[in-house]
Amino acid sequence: MAAETKMAATMEETNNDAAAVTALSELTALLSPSSPAAPEAAEAALSLSGSASGRALLAAHPAALSALSALAAMASSASRGAHTALAALVNASSEPAALEPLLAALPSLLPLLPSSGGVCGVLANLSRDAGAAPRAVRALGPGAEPLLRALSAARPPAELGALLCNLSQAPEGRRALLERSGMVVRRMLALVRYPGSAELRRGVVGALRNCCFEHEHHEWLLGPEVEALPALLLPLAGSEEIPESDTEQLPVDLQYLPPEHQREEEPEIRKMLLETLLLLTATKGGRLQMRSQGCYVVLRELHSWEQEPQVLNTCEKVIQVLIGDEPEAGLENLLEVTIPEELERRLARLDAEGQGQGQQGTASAR
């Protein structure tokens, strides 16, 4: 290991660009899957990718990325050095210059799904930029079948969450996640309560929230084909006793929850779930379905339990929409209502002041 680290350090520290290129070319030749020195070369590449200058050096040399990709593609056959090469690719993929070479290499890496968190990590990094996300979606192929494989795994990789969230920032990504068979979105909803990884839950909920900006899908999401509401409410629901008349309003999955049932432990995720519900209240059909399925009952109990000011603030916004009067004709879709700029600035200022007051009060109480 020391020799590989020394090799990487030498490439980083040299002030001679030509010498660095030569050293990286030599390393690239050693990365061939047939090379006996491939494991050691992969370790050197991983060490190099551990610093900003090293990542930039790797990203600027497509041949090195191609060689790492070829070696990483052997991971399913337990080839020595393959997993190390994939880890180096995850690091290097955070560099913008690595986008083109790694998109070209994806066909050889995608077969590693669903077991490889590393491939999800590479894709997540490549799709961080909104302009690159559509290209990552297209690289997944028709129906985004590799993504569905990863979603359907018994233990989905944690890195899948960031990938889903990044893909959903682009219209192409949202279309792929909301394809009408419902297979992808139903699997995402099933992972909202996944106990093995807060990172995965955070990314999945972020992706669902982004998908709900597509208001034309609200009725479908809340209807019998997908039934998104019980899955979104369950992490916000507690096991408190409530009146029988309230219980009867709830979906069956939320009735008579056992004493051991716990709400989502991460405040950030609770807030994103509430933001998702808020988006679903934007359409008249969404509001009607949420009222009829007892959404207010769950949020009322959450509001009594919640301690985090920003989560409380978002919860109150959803409640206000649910218990408020319906907008006048022509303004039923809140996502399409144009708010005057001055009013929007005033509302944003009041919202910020309200959150600040809540934070101050909570701090004082402690």
pLDDT digits (tens, 9 = 90+) for 287-299: 999 999 999 999 9
pLDDT digits (tens, 9 = 90+) for 344-365: 454 455 455 444 333 333 233 3
pLDDT band at 21; cut points 50, 70, 90 = confident
With a cut of 80, say whether residue 341 has pLDDT above it.
no
pTM for this one? 0.85
Closest CA to 271 of 169, 342, 178, 358: 358
Q: Please give the Cα distance from 308 to 323 (Å, whole number).
A: 22
Residue 55 near residue 24 (C-beta atoms within 8 A)? no
160-324+346-366: what fold? Answer: Leucine-rich Repeat Variant (1.25.10)
With a cut of 50, say whether residue 332 has pLDDT above it.
no
Domain spans in the chain, listed from the N-terminal domain onward: 160-324+346-366
| List of residues 6+ apart from 95 with CB closer than 8 A | 55, 56, 58, 59
Give me the chain's average pLDDT, please. 86
Q: Please give the Cα distance from 142 to 247 (Å, whole number).
A: 43
Q: What is the rounded average pLDDT of the residues 198-208?
A: 97
| List of residues 6+ apart from 206 with CB closer than 8 A | 161, 164, 165, 168, 272
